[in-house]
Amino acid sequence: GAGVSQSPRYKVAKRGQDVALRCDPISGHVSLFWYQQALGQGPEFLTYFQNEAQLDKSGLPSDRFFAERPEGSVSTLKIQRTQQEDSAVYLCASSPTLSGPYNEQFFGPGTRLTVL
C-alpha cells in the first residue's frame, strides 16, 4: 500500500464511551507500534507488537487501554470508558524488522480523539 493508514482520522466521544482505533501497517512489516501524542508534547510509547505477539505494553496508561493484532497485520487500539485525559492524537507506526540502530518507523497520519 501507500503507507500506514489509520481510521478514523477524527473521533469525538462522550466521556464514558468506548472507542476503537484501527491501524493498517505497511504490508509485510513485522513490527507495529502505538504512540499517544498529547497537545504540545512529543509522541509517547504505548505498546508494541512483533507479528501477532504483544511484546511490550508498558506504556499503556491504564487497564482501560487494550491493543490487539490477531493476525499479525491490522491492529486495533481500544479505549474503554473514555476520560477527558484520553484526548490526544494516537499514532501508529510500523517497521520491517527488528533492526536496531537502523530502525526506521513509518508513521500513519494519526487519529485525533476528543473526549467531551
| Rounded least distance, CB 99 to another protein, Å | 8
Q: Which is nearer to another protein, 82 or 90 (CB)?
A: 90
- From residue 58, alpha-carbon distances to 62, 74, 99 in Å are 10, 21, 21
Binding mask 23-62 for another protein (x = CB under 8 A): --------x-x-x----xxxxxx--x-------x--x---
The rounded distance, in Å, linking the Cα atoms of 31 and 64 is 23
- Residue 1 binds to another protein (criterion: CB under 8 A): no
User: Residue 81 region, left (φ>0) first, then alpha (ψ -120 to 50), else beta?
Assistant: left
- Residue 72 binds to another protein (criterion: CB under 8 A): no
Q: What angle do CA 94, 99, 105 make, to 5 degrees?
A: 25
Q: What is the binding site for another protein (CB under 8 A)?
A: 3-4, 31, 33, 35, 40-45, 48, 56, 59, 91, 93, 95, 98-110
